[in-house]
Amino acid sequence: MNTKSYTVHIFGQEYTVVSDEAETDIVQASGLVHEIMETVAMQTIGMNKQKVAVLAALQLAHDLVRAQKDVEQRKQQEDALVSFIDHKIASL
């Protein structure tokens, strides 16, 4: 494991992230968090940073759950297609 330290800026704050992930992934992830926090802050003017962070985390969690459901649905469709093809091949 090759851990590195990265400095990222999210919602006006500087954070040090120690990770073995690629720098581009860390930068992309922190940029996404920043973008979502900015969007939440614009929609909820006057809300403190902690609440903005929680709502941003909730949005990210919701997006993850939705993506996981999409992956599961596609896996089921793939399995059904493979079964259909196997059945057709067996009947030849």
Q: What is the mean pLDDT of each run of 10 residues along the chain (92 residues)?
A: 93 96 96 97 93 97 98 97 95 88
pTM over 0.85: no
The first and second tokens of residue 7, run together, are 């400095």
Q: In total, how many domains does the chain have?
A: 1
* Cβ contacts of 52 within 8 Å, gap of 6 or more: 11, 37, 40, 41, 44
Range of the domain at 23: 4-90
Q: What is the pLDDT of residue 34?
A: 97
